[in-house]
Structure 1
Amino acid sequence: MSLYDRLAGRADAPAVSLPSSSPLTWPAAGLDVGTDLRGAQVALLHWLQQGGITTPPVLDLVVALDVSASFEDEHRAGVTNDLLVRLVPWGLTFDRNRSLELITFSSGAASAHLVGSLTAENCRGFVSREVVARVPGWCGATDYSHPIERALRHGGWLAADATEDGAARPGLFGRLFGGRPSAAAAAEADGARAGLRRPLLVLFITDGDNQDKIRARAVLRASQQRRDAVYFLFLGVSNQGSRFPFLEAIGAEFDNTGFVAVDDLRAFVRLSHEALNERLIGPELLRWLRQPG
Protein backbone atom coordinates (compact mmCIF):
# COMPACT_ATOMS: atom_id res chain seq x y z
CA MET A 1 0.00 0.00 0.00
CA SER A 2 1.37 3.38 -1.00
CA LEU A 3 1.99 6.32 1.31
CA TYR A 4 -0.70 8.17 -0.65
CA ASP A 5 -3.27 5.48 0.25
CA ARG A 6 -2.33 5.66 3.92
CA LEU A 7 -2.48 9.46 4.12
CA ALA A 8 -5.65 9.62 2.05
CA GLY A 9 -7.37 7.65 4.80
CA ARG A 10 -8.29 4.33 3.23
CA ALA A 11 -10.15 2.18 5.73
CA ASP A 12 -7.62 -0.65 5.52
CA ALA A 13 -4.62 1.64 5.80
CA PRO A 14 -2.41 1.79 8.89
CA ALA A 15 -2.17 5.16 10.59
CA VAL A 16 0.47 7.61 9.47
CA SER A 17 1.87 9.85 12.18
CA LEU A 18 2.75 13.48 11.62
CA PRO A 19 4.71 15.47 14.22
CA SER A 20 2.67 15.42 17.42
CA SER A 21 3.96 18.78 18.60
CA SER A 22 2.44 20.68 15.68
CA PRO A 23 -1.21 20.75 14.60
CA LEU A 24 -2.23 19.47 11.19
CA THR A 25 -3.59 22.89 10.32
CA TRP A 26 -2.33 26.32 11.25
CA PRO A 27 -2.60 29.84 9.84
CA ALA A 28 0.82 30.67 8.43
CA ALA A 29 1.90 34.23 9.08
CA GLY A 30 0.50 36.53 6.42
CA LEU A 31 -1.84 33.97 4.91
CA ASP A 32 -5.61 34.34 4.90
CA VAL A 33 -6.16 30.59 4.99
CA GLY A 34 -4.69 27.80 7.06
CA THR A 35 -2.04 25.50 5.67
CA ASP A 36 -3.02 21.85 6.04
CA LEU A 37 0.02 19.60 6.22
CA ARG A 38 -1.87 16.39 5.68
CA GLY A 39 -3.96 17.78 2.83
CA ALA A 40 -0.88 19.26 1.18
CA GLN A 41 1.05 16.01 1.45
CA VAL A 42 -1.87 13.97 0.11
CA ALA A 43 -2.15 16.35 -2.85
CA LEU A 44 1.60 16.10 -3.51
CA LEU A 45 1.54 12.31 -3.36
CA HIS A 46 -1.48 12.21 -5.67
CA TRP A 47 0.31 14.45 -8.18
CA LEU A 48 3.36 12.18 -8.06
CA GLN A 49 1.19 9.11 -8.47
CA GLN A 50 -0.41 10.61 -11.55
CA GLY A 51 3.12 11.09 -12.88
CA GLY A 52 3.95 7.41 -12.33
CA ILE A 53 5.68 7.72 -8.94
CA THR A 54 3.95 5.53 -6.36
CA THR A 55 6.84 5.51 -3.90
CA PRO A 56 8.55 8.90 -3.47
CA PRO A 57 12.34 8.74 -3.59
CA VAL A 58 14.33 9.46 -0.44
CA LEU A 59 16.40 12.61 -0.99
CA ASP A 60 18.19 15.42 0.70
CA LEU A 61 16.02 18.51 0.19
CA VAL A 62 17.68 21.93 0.27
CA VAL A 63 16.09 25.37 -0.11
CA ALA A 64 18.45 28.17 -1.15
CA LEU A 65 16.93 31.54 -0.25
CA ASP A 66 18.13 34.88 -1.62
CA VAL A 67 18.66 37.49 1.13
CA SER A 68 19.80 40.34 -1.12
CA ALA A 69 18.57 43.89 -0.50
CA SER A 70 15.81 43.76 -3.12
CA PHE A 71 14.13 40.84 -1.29
CA GLU A 72 14.15 42.47 2.17
CA ASP A 73 10.53 43.64 2.17
CA GLU A 74 9.20 40.16 1.38
CA HIS A 75 11.31 38.63 4.16
CA ARG A 76 10.22 41.19 6.77
CA ALA A 77 6.56 40.91 5.72
CA GLY A 78 6.60 37.13 6.18
CA VAL A 79 5.81 36.32 2.55
CA THR A 80 8.94 34.23 2.00
CA ASN A 81 8.17 32.40 5.24
CA ASP A 82 4.72 31.60 3.81
CA LEU A 83 6.46 30.06 0.80
CA LEU A 84 8.70 27.95 3.02
CA VAL A 85 5.63 26.76 4.95
CA ARG A 86 4.06 25.64 1.66
CA LEU A 87 7.22 23.61 0.98
CA VAL A 88 7.24 21.80 4.35
CA PRO A 89 5.16 18.89 2.89
CA TRP A 90 7.95 18.37 0.34
CA GLY A 91 10.31 17.79 3.24
CA LEU A 92 7.85 15.40 4.88
CA THR A 93 7.48 13.48 1.61
CA PHE A 94 11.01 13.37 0.19
CA ASP A 95 13.65 14.24 2.75
CA ARG A 96 15.34 11.50 4.74
CA ASN A 97 14.99 13.69 7.87
CA ARG A 98 11.49 14.97 6.98
CA SER A 99 12.80 18.54 6.86
CA LEU A 100 14.14 21.27 4.57
CA GLU A 101 17.76 22.39 4.96
CA LEU A 102 17.84 26.16 4.45
CA ILE A 103 20.82 27.91 2.85
CA THR A 104 20.73 31.70 2.61
CA PHE A 105 22.85 33.70 0.19
CA SER A 106 23.56 37.07 -1.37
CA SER A 107 26.97 37.85 -2.92
CA GLY A 108 30.31 36.22 -2.25
CA ALA A 109 31.24 32.80 -0.89
CA ALA A 110 30.90 33.86 2.76
CA SER A 111 27.22 34.71 2.26
CA ALA A 112 26.27 31.12 1.38
CA HIS A 113 25.21 30.11 4.87
CA LEU A 114 23.62 26.88 6.11
CA VAL A 115 20.97 28.16 8.55
CA GLY A 116 19.68 24.74 9.59
CA SER A 117 16.62 22.52 9.35
CA LEU A 118 13.13 23.87 8.78
CA THR A 119 10.47 21.44 9.99
CA ALA A 120 6.76 21.19 10.67
CA GLU A 121 7.50 22.11 14.27
CA ASN A 122 9.61 25.24 13.76
CA CYS A 123 8.48 26.70 10.42
CA ARG A 124 6.16 29.35 11.85
CA GLY A 125 8.08 32.61 11.97
CA PHE A 126 11.32 30.90 10.95
CA VAL A 127 12.49 33.66 8.58
CA SER A 128 11.94 36.48 11.07
CA ARG A 129 13.48 34.43 13.88
CA GLU A 130 16.50 32.92 12.10
CA VAL A 131 17.13 34.92 8.93
CA VAL A 132 16.14 38.61 8.97
CA ALA A 133 19.21 40.74 9.81
CA ARG A 134 20.92 37.63 11.25
CA VAL A 135 22.56 35.77 8.38
CA PRO A 136 25.84 36.59 6.60
CA GLY A 137 25.36 38.79 3.55
CA TRP A 138 22.01 40.19 4.67
CA CYS A 139 20.89 42.84 2.14
CA GLY A 140 23.85 42.27 -0.17
CA ALA A 141 23.95 41.79 -3.93
CA THR A 142 23.29 38.49 -5.74
CA ASP A 143 25.53 35.58 -6.80
CA TYR A 144 24.24 32.10 -7.63
CA SER A 145 27.40 30.00 -7.85
CA HIS A 146 28.26 30.00 -4.14
CA PRO A 147 24.90 28.71 -2.81
CA ILE A 148 24.88 26.12 -5.60
CA GLU A 149 28.29 24.92 -4.41
CA ARG A 150 27.13 24.96 -0.80
CA ALA A 151 24.17 22.76 -1.72
CA LEU A 152 26.45 20.38 -3.63
CA ARG A 153 28.72 20.10 -0.58
CA HIS A 154 25.70 19.39 1.59
CA GLY A 155 24.79 16.44 -0.63
CA GLY A 156 28.38 15.19 -0.76
CA TRP A 157 28.84 16.00 -4.47
CA LEU A 158 31.58 18.57 -3.90
CA ALA A 159 34.51 18.34 -1.49
CA ALA A 160 34.01 20.27 1.73
CA ASP A 161 37.26 22.23 1.43
CA ALA A 162 37.17 23.34 -2.21
CA THR A 163 35.07 25.16 -4.79
CA GLU A 164 34.47 24.19 -8.41
CA ASP A 165 37.29 26.45 -9.62
CA GLY A 166 39.75 24.78 -7.22
CA ALA A 167 40.07 27.71 -4.84
CA ALA A 168 40.14 27.16 -1.11
CA ARG A 169 36.77 27.77 0.48
CA PRO A 170 36.49 30.56 3.06
CA GLY A 171 35.98 29.49 6.67
CA LEU A 172 32.51 29.30 8.07
CA PHE A 173 30.97 32.59 9.20
CA GLY A 174 30.94 31.51 12.81
CA ARG A 175 34.66 30.84 12.77
CA LEU A 176 35.33 34.41 11.75
CA PHE A 177 34.08 35.39 15.19
CA GLY A 178 35.72 32.56 17.07
CA GLY A 179 32.56 30.47 17.34
CA ARG A 180 31.89 26.89 16.40
CA PRO A 181 30.04 25.85 13.23
CA SER A 182 26.37 25.00 13.60
CA ALA A 183 25.33 21.39 14.09
CA ALA A 184 23.97 21.35 10.54
CA ALA A 185 27.22 22.70 9.12
CA ALA A 186 29.27 20.22 11.14
CA ALA A 187 27.13 17.33 9.90
CA GLU A 188 27.54 18.60 6.34
CA ALA A 189 31.34 18.66 6.69
CA ASP A 190 31.39 15.18 8.25
CA GLY A 191 29.33 13.78 5.39
CA ALA A 192 31.55 15.37 2.77
CA ARG A 193 34.70 14.03 4.43
CA ALA A 194 33.17 10.55 4.52
CA GLY A 195 32.43 10.74 0.79
CA LEU A 196 28.69 10.34 1.28
CA ARG A 197 26.75 11.22 -1.85
CA ARG A 198 22.98 11.40 -1.64
CA PRO A 199 20.34 12.31 -4.24
CA LEU A 200 19.71 16.02 -3.79
CA LEU A 201 16.82 18.29 -4.77
CA VAL A 202 17.57 22.01 -4.52
CA LEU A 203 14.75 24.58 -4.56
CA PHE A 204 16.51 27.86 -5.36
CA ILE A 205 14.48 31.02 -4.60
CA THR A 206 15.70 34.40 -5.90
CA ASP A 207 14.22 37.75 -6.83
CA GLY A 208 17.12 39.18 -8.81
CA ASP A 209 19.57 38.58 -11.63
CA ASN A 210 23.05 37.40 -10.66
CA GLN A 211 26.46 39.00 -11.05
CA ASP A 212 28.36 35.73 -11.58
CA LYS A 213 26.84 34.24 -14.72
CA ILE A 214 30.05 32.71 -16.10
CA ARG A 215 30.97 31.06 -12.79
CA ALA A 216 27.42 29.88 -12.05
CA ARG A 217 27.15 28.27 -15.49
CA ALA A 218 30.55 26.58 -14.97
CA VAL A 219 29.44 25.13 -11.61
CA LEU A 220 26.24 23.74 -13.12
CA ARG A 221 28.08 22.37 -16.15
CA ALA A 222 30.62 20.58 -13.95
CA SER A 223 27.81 19.04 -11.87
CA GLN A 224 26.03 17.79 -14.98
CA GLN A 225 29.26 16.39 -16.45
CA ARG A 226 29.93 14.49 -13.23
CA ARG A 227 26.39 13.11 -13.48
CA ASP A 228 25.63 14.25 -9.94
CA ALA A 229 22.28 12.94 -8.71
CA VAL A 230 21.09 16.50 -8.22
CA TYR A 231 18.21 18.57 -9.59
CA PHE A 232 18.04 22.36 -9.29
CA LEU A 233 14.62 24.01 -9.50
CA PHE A 234 15.00 27.80 -9.71
CA LEU A 235 12.08 30.01 -8.66
CA GLY A 236 12.45 33.52 -10.04
CA VAL A 237 10.29 35.93 -8.03
CA SER A 238 9.54 39.12 -9.98
CA ASN A 239 7.57 41.18 -7.47
CA GLN A 240 9.53 44.26 -8.51
CA GLY A 241 9.43 43.63 -12.24
CA SER A 242 12.61 41.55 -12.43
CA ARG A 243 13.16 39.30 -15.41
CA PHE A 244 15.32 36.18 -15.46
CA PRO A 245 16.87 35.54 -18.89
CA PHE A 246 19.83 33.74 -17.31
CA LEU A 247 17.60 31.32 -15.39
CA GLU A 248 15.52 30.71 -18.50
CA ALA A 249 18.71 29.98 -20.45
CA ILE A 250 20.22 27.53 -17.95
CA GLY A 251 16.84 25.84 -17.52
CA ALA A 252 16.93 25.06 -21.23
CA GLU A 253 20.66 24.26 -21.32
CA PHE A 254 21.04 21.75 -18.48
CA ASP A 255 19.11 18.50 -18.05
CA ASN A 256 19.11 18.78 -14.26
CA THR A 257 17.96 22.41 -14.04
CA GLY A 258 14.42 23.82 -14.21
CA PHE A 259 12.94 27.29 -13.94
CA VAL A 260 9.58 28.56 -12.64
CA ALA A 261 8.67 32.24 -12.96
CA VAL A 262 6.69 33.64 -10.02
CA ASP A 263 5.12 36.97 -11.00
CA ASP A 264 3.26 37.58 -7.72
CA LEU A 265 4.65 35.82 -4.65
CA ARG A 266 1.70 36.73 -2.42
CA ALA A 267 -0.69 35.13 -4.90
CA PHE A 268 1.66 32.18 -5.42
CA VAL A 269 1.68 31.19 -1.73
CA ARG A 270 -2.14 31.21 -1.75
CA LEU A 271 -2.47 28.74 -4.62
CA SER A 272 -4.36 25.53 -3.95
CA HIS A 273 -2.28 22.44 -3.25
CA GLU A 274 -3.05 21.12 -6.73
CA ALA A 275 -2.21 24.39 -8.48
CA LEU A 276 1.06 24.74 -6.56
CA ASN A 277 2.13 21.22 -7.52
CA GLU A 278 1.26 21.91 -11.14
CA ARG A 279 3.43 25.02 -11.15
CA LEU A 280 6.42 23.39 -9.46
CA ILE A 281 6.51 19.81 -10.76
CA GLY A 282 7.01 19.77 -14.49
CA PRO A 283 7.77 16.80 -16.78
CA GLU A 284 11.55 17.16 -16.41
CA LEU A 285 11.45 17.10 -12.60
CA LEU A 286 9.05 14.15 -12.68
CA ARG A 287 11.49 12.21 -14.87
CA TRP A 288 14.32 12.98 -12.47
CA LEU A 289 12.26 11.95 -9.43
CA ARG A 290 11.59 8.55 -11.01
CA GLN A 291 15.34 7.79 -11.01
CA PRO A 292 17.15 10.39 -8.88
CA GLY A 293 20.16 8.21 -8.23
Structure 2
Amino acid sequence: MGNLIDLTKKARIQLEKNQLTDVKAEIVFVVDTSYSMQHLYNNGTVQELVDRLLGIGMNMDVNGSIDVFSFSDRAREVGKADERNHTNYVKDNRIITNGGTKYAPVMRLILDKYGPAKKSFFNGLFGSKNKKQEIPTFVFFITDGDNDDKSEAEKLIKEASKQPIFWQFVGIGNTSFSFLQQLDTMSGRFLDNANFFQVDDISAITDDELYKRLLNEFPDWLQQAKNKGILS
Protein backbone atom coordinates (compact mmCIF):
# COMPACT_ATOMS: atom_id res chain seq x y z
CA MET A 1 0.00 0.00 0.00
CA GLY A 2 2.94 2.29 0.64
CA ASN A 3 3.88 2.18 -3.02
CA LEU A 4 0.35 3.10 -4.08
CA ILE A 5 0.38 6.04 -1.68
CA ASP A 6 3.60 7.26 -3.29
CA LEU A 7 2.18 6.81 -6.80
CA THR A 8 -1.00 8.64 -5.84
CA LYS A 9 1.03 11.60 -4.58
CA LYS A 10 3.16 11.70 -7.74
CA ALA A 11 0.07 11.55 -9.96
CA ARG A 12 -1.54 14.37 -8.02
CA ILE A 13 1.49 16.60 -8.64
CA GLN A 14 1.05 16.21 -12.40
CA LEU A 15 -2.70 16.69 -12.12
CA GLU A 16 -2.05 19.95 -10.28
CA LYS A 17 0.36 21.10 -13.00
CA ASN A 18 -2.33 20.44 -15.61
CA GLN A 19 -5.09 22.04 -13.50
CA LEU A 20 -6.96 18.73 -13.35
CA THR A 21 -7.32 18.29 -9.59
CA ASP A 22 -11.03 19.14 -9.66
CA VAL A 23 -11.79 16.98 -12.71
CA LYS A 24 -13.53 13.63 -12.23
CA ALA A 25 -13.60 10.96 -14.94
CA GLU A 26 -14.04 7.28 -15.60
CA ILE A 27 -10.45 6.00 -15.74
CA VAL A 28 -10.02 2.99 -18.02
CA PHE A 29 -6.94 0.81 -18.59
CA VAL A 30 -6.94 -1.19 -21.83
CA VAL A 31 -4.07 -3.66 -22.04
CA ASP A 32 -2.81 -5.80 -24.91
CA THR A 33 -2.80 -9.56 -24.20
CA SER A 34 -1.53 -10.70 -27.58
CA TYR A 35 1.20 -13.34 -27.43
CA SER A 36 3.99 -10.87 -28.18
CA MET A 37 3.27 -9.14 -24.85
CA GLN A 38 4.20 -12.22 -22.82
CA HIS A 39 7.57 -10.93 -21.62
CA LEU A 40 5.92 -7.78 -20.25
CA TYR A 41 3.65 -9.95 -18.13
CA ASN A 42 6.46 -12.26 -17.05
CA ASN A 43 8.73 -9.44 -15.90
CA GLY A 44 5.99 -7.63 -13.97
CA THR A 45 5.68 -4.60 -16.26
CA VAL A 46 1.92 -4.99 -16.76
CA GLN A 47 1.30 -5.39 -13.03
CA GLU A 48 3.37 -2.25 -12.46
CA LEU A 49 1.19 -0.44 -15.00
CA VAL A 50 -1.93 -1.41 -13.07
CA ASP A 51 -0.40 0.14 -9.95
CA ARG A 52 0.90 3.23 -11.76
CA LEU A 53 -2.39 3.95 -13.52
CA LEU A 54 -4.26 3.36 -10.28
CA GLY A 55 -2.25 6.32 -8.96
CA ILE A 56 -4.23 8.44 -11.43
CA GLY A 57 -7.44 6.60 -10.64
CA MET A 58 -7.13 7.22 -6.91
CA ASN A 59 -7.05 10.95 -7.62
CA MET A 60 -9.32 11.30 -10.61
CA ASP A 61 -11.71 8.38 -11.04
CA VAL A 62 -15.25 8.83 -9.77
CA ASN A 63 -14.85 5.63 -7.72
CA GLY A 64 -11.15 5.96 -6.87
CA SER A 65 -10.39 2.94 -9.07
CA ILE A 66 -9.64 1.97 -12.68
CA ASP A 67 -11.71 -0.21 -15.01
CA VAL A 68 -9.51 -2.80 -16.73
CA PHE A 69 -10.10 -4.31 -20.18
CA SER A 70 -7.89 -6.74 -22.09
CA PHE A 71 -7.67 -7.58 -25.78
CA SER A 72 -5.94 -9.78 -28.33
CA ASP A 73 -8.09 -11.34 -31.06
CA ARG A 74 -10.98 -10.93 -28.64
CA ALA A 75 -11.73 -8.55 -25.81
CA ARG A 76 -13.10 -8.74 -22.31
CA GLU A 77 -13.84 -6.49 -19.39
CA VAL A 78 -11.64 -7.74 -16.57
CA GLY A 79 -13.09 -5.59 -13.79
CA LYS A 80 -12.14 -2.83 -11.38
CA ALA A 81 -8.70 -2.47 -9.82
CA ASP A 82 -8.61 -0.50 -6.58
CA GLU A 83 -6.57 -0.08 -3.41
CA ARG A 84 -7.91 -3.35 -1.99
CA ASN A 85 -7.18 -5.72 -4.89
CA HIS A 86 -4.40 -4.12 -6.96
CA THR A 87 -1.37 -5.92 -5.47
CA ASN A 88 -1.67 -9.15 -7.51
CA TYR A 89 -4.33 -7.93 -9.91
CA VAL A 90 -2.90 -9.46 -13.11
CA LYS A 91 -2.38 -12.90 -11.55
CA ASP A 92 -5.60 -12.93 -9.56
CA ASN A 93 -7.67 -12.06 -12.63
CA ARG A 94 -5.87 -14.53 -14.90
CA ILE A 95 -4.84 -11.95 -17.45
CA ILE A 96 -2.77 -14.10 -19.81
CA THR A 97 -1.38 -13.71 -23.32
CA ASN A 98 -2.68 -15.44 -26.44
CA GLY A 99 -3.58 -14.70 -30.04
CA GLY A 100 -3.04 -11.72 -32.30
CA THR A 101 -3.91 -8.02 -32.10
CA LYS A 102 -7.29 -6.48 -32.88
CA TYR A 103 -8.32 -3.11 -31.48
CA ALA A 104 -11.95 -2.92 -32.61
CA PRO A 105 -13.51 -5.49 -30.23
CA VAL A 106 -12.28 -3.72 -27.10
CA MET A 107 -13.08 -0.31 -28.55
CA ARG A 108 -16.65 -1.47 -29.11
CA LEU A 109 -16.89 -2.70 -25.51
CA ILE A 110 -15.78 0.72 -24.28
CA LEU A 111 -18.14 2.67 -26.54
CA ASP A 112 -21.03 0.46 -25.49
CA LYS A 113 -20.27 0.90 -21.78
CA TYR A 114 -19.22 4.56 -21.58
CA GLY A 115 -20.80 6.13 -24.64
CA PRO A 116 -23.97 8.20 -24.23
CA ALA A 117 -26.35 5.90 -26.13
CA LYS A 118 -27.17 3.53 -23.29
CA LYS A 119 -26.91 6.18 -20.59
CA SER A 120 -29.31 8.48 -22.40
CA PHE A 121 -31.96 5.72 -22.39
CA PHE A 122 -31.86 5.40 -18.62
CA ASN A 123 -31.61 9.16 -18.16
CA GLY A 124 -34.81 9.49 -20.16
CA LEU A 125 -36.54 6.86 -18.04
CA PHE A 126 -35.76 8.66 -14.82
CA GLY A 127 -36.22 12.19 -16.10
CA SER A 128 -32.59 13.23 -15.88
CA LYS A 129 -31.31 15.63 -18.51
CA ASN A 130 -27.81 15.64 -20.02
CA LYS A 131 -26.41 13.49 -17.20
CA LYS A 132 -24.28 11.66 -19.74
CA GLN A 133 -22.28 14.80 -20.48
CA GLU A 134 -21.01 15.49 -16.98
CA ILE A 135 -18.30 12.82 -16.62
CA PRO A 136 -15.70 12.12 -19.34
CA THR A 137 -14.03 8.76 -19.91
CA PHE A 138 -10.22 8.73 -20.04
CA VAL A 139 -8.86 5.60 -21.72
CA PHE A 140 -5.22 4.49 -21.37
CA PHE A 141 -4.64 2.04 -24.22
CA ILE A 142 -1.36 0.07 -24.00
CA THR A 143 -0.08 -2.12 -26.85
CA ASP A 144 3.16 -3.44 -28.33
CA GLY A 145 2.12 -3.52 -31.98
CA ASP A 146 -0.21 -2.43 -34.76
CA ASN A 147 -3.49 -4.24 -35.30
CA ASP A 148 -5.09 -6.48 -37.92
CA ASP A 149 -8.40 -4.58 -38.10
CA LYS A 150 -7.44 -1.05 -39.03
CA SER A 151 -10.57 -0.05 -40.96
CA GLU A 152 -12.89 -1.19 -38.16
CA ALA A 153 -10.83 0.60 -35.50
CA GLU A 154 -10.71 3.78 -37.57
CA LYS A 155 -14.50 3.81 -37.87
CA LEU A 156 -14.87 3.40 -34.13
CA ILE A 157 -12.48 6.24 -33.33
CA LYS A 158 -14.50 8.49 -35.65
CA GLU A 159 -17.71 7.36 -33.96
CA ALA A 160 -16.18 7.99 -30.54
CA SER A 161 -15.14 11.52 -31.53
CA LYS A 162 -18.72 12.65 -30.88
CA GLN A 163 -18.72 11.10 -27.41
CA PRO A 164 -17.09 12.15 -24.11
CA ILE A 165 -14.26 9.61 -24.48
CA PHE A 166 -10.56 10.45 -24.82
CA TRP A 167 -8.05 7.80 -25.94
CA GLN A 168 -4.43 7.95 -24.83
CA PHE A 169 -2.57 5.34 -26.88
CA VAL A 170 0.85 4.14 -25.75
CA GLY A 171 3.08 1.98 -27.93
CA ILE A 172 5.69 -0.13 -26.14
CA GLY A 173 8.79 -1.23 -28.02
CA ASN A 174 10.81 -0.09 -31.02
CA THR A 175 8.47 -1.48 -33.66
CA SER A 176 6.38 0.64 -36.05
CA PHE A 177 3.14 2.12 -34.74
CA SER A 178 2.07 3.78 -37.97
CA PHE A 179 -1.63 3.16 -37.39
CA LEU A 180 -1.64 4.67 -33.90
CA GLN A 181 0.22 7.67 -35.27
CA GLN A 182 -2.50 7.92 -37.92
CA LEU A 183 -5.26 7.83 -35.28
CA ASP A 184 -3.51 10.66 -33.46
CA THR A 185 -3.65 12.97 -36.47
CA MET A 186 -6.44 11.64 -38.70
CA SER A 187 -9.09 13.90 -40.21
CA GLY A 188 -12.82 13.25 -40.41
CA ARG A 189 -13.46 13.42 -36.66
CA PHE A 190 -15.88 15.73 -34.88
CA LEU A 191 -13.17 16.31 -32.28
CA ASP A 192 -9.53 15.27 -31.93
CA ASN A 193 -10.10 12.53 -29.38
CA ALA A 194 -6.79 10.65 -29.34
CA ASN A 195 -3.13 11.09 -28.49
CA PHE A 196 -0.18 8.74 -28.99
CA PHE A 197 3.35 8.34 -27.75
CA GLN A 198 5.87 5.53 -28.00
CA VAL A 199 8.43 4.24 -25.50
CA ASP A 200 10.97 1.47 -25.90
CA ASP A 201 10.77 0.38 -22.25
CA ILE A 202 7.91 1.81 -20.22
CA SER A 203 9.26 0.35 -16.98
CA ALA A 204 12.41 2.47 -17.41
CA ILE A 205 10.44 5.74 -17.41
CA THR A 206 10.07 7.43 -14.05
CA ASP A 207 6.61 7.74 -12.58
CA ASP A 208 6.74 11.52 -12.89
CA GLU A 209 7.65 11.34 -16.58
CA LEU A 210 5.02 8.71 -17.31
CA TYR A 211 2.26 10.76 -15.66
CA LYS A 212 3.45 13.86 -17.50
CA ARG A 213 3.16 12.10 -20.87
CA LEU A 214 -0.13 10.40 -20.08
CA LEU A 215 -1.81 13.64 -19.03
CA ASN A 216 -0.28 15.87 -21.70
CA GLU A 217 -3.18 16.26 -24.16
CA PHE A 218 -6.21 15.47 -22.00
CA PRO A 219 -6.65 19.07 -20.72
CA ASP A 220 -6.87 20.45 -24.28
CA TRP A 221 -9.37 17.77 -25.28
CA LEU A 222 -11.41 18.49 -22.16
CA GLN A 223 -11.73 22.17 -23.07
CA GLN A 224 -12.57 21.43 -26.71
CA ALA A 225 -15.17 18.86 -25.65
CA LYS A 226 -16.83 21.52 -23.51
CA ASN A 227 -16.65 24.08 -26.32
CA LYS A 228 -18.38 21.66 -28.71
CA GLY A 229 -21.06 20.64 -26.25
CA ILE A 230 -19.87 17.07 -25.66
CA LEU A 231 -19.28 17.85 -21.99
CA SER A 232 -21.12 20.27 -19.77
Give 2:183's aligned amino acid: I
8 Å contact from structure 1 (residues 75, 128) kept in 2: no
- Equivalent pairs counted in the alignment come to 213
Distance in 1 (alpha carbons) for counterparts of 2:76 and 2:117? 16
Shift of 1:278: 1.9
1:113 is matched with which residue: 72, 76, 80?
76
Determine helix, strand or coil for the equivalent of 1:209.
coil
Percent of residue pairs bearing the same amino acid type: 27
Aligned residue number for residue 266 of structure 1: 203
Distance in 1 (alpha carbons) for counterparts of 2:88 and 2:104? 28
Aligned residue number for residue 176 of structure 2: 243
Distance in 2 (alpha carbons) for counterparts of 1:74 and 1:192? 39
Q: CA RMSD in A?
A: 2.1
Give 1:148's aligned amino acid: M
Change (3 A) 1:98 1:131: same
Change (3 A) 1:54 1:74: closer
Aligned residue number for residue 142 of structure 1: 101
Shift of 1:193: 6.0
Change (3 A) 1:73 1:54: closer
Shift of 1:90: 1.0
Uncovered stretches (5+) of structure 1, i.e. residues with no partner: 1-22, 26-34, 160-190
Uncovered stretches (5+) of structure 2, i.e. residues with no partner: 124-130
Kindly name which structure, 1 or 2, has the bigger radius of gyration based on alpha carbons: 1
8 Å contact from structure 2 (residues 29, 53) kept in 1: no
Change (3 A) 1:201 1:114: same
Aligned residue number for residue 85 of structure 1: 51
TM-score (norm 1): 0.67
Give 1:83's aligned amino acid: L
2:110 is matched with which residue: 112, 127, 151?
151
Q: How does 1:72-221 map to 2 (within 5 A)?
A: 72-107=38-73, 111-133=74-96, 138-159=97-118, 194=122, 197=132, 198-221=135-158
Shift of 1:158: 5.0
Q: Which fold has the larger relative contact order, with Cα–Cα distance below 8 Å and residues 6 or more apart in sequence?
A: 2
Distance in 2 (alpha carbons) for counterparts of 1:61 and 1:278? 16
Instruction: Kindly indicate which of the two structures has a greater share of residues assigned to helix.
Output: 2
Aligned residue number for residue 178 of structure 1: none
Superposed CA offset, 1:53-108 (max 9, x none): 341x221111111100101121133211111111111111111111111111111x
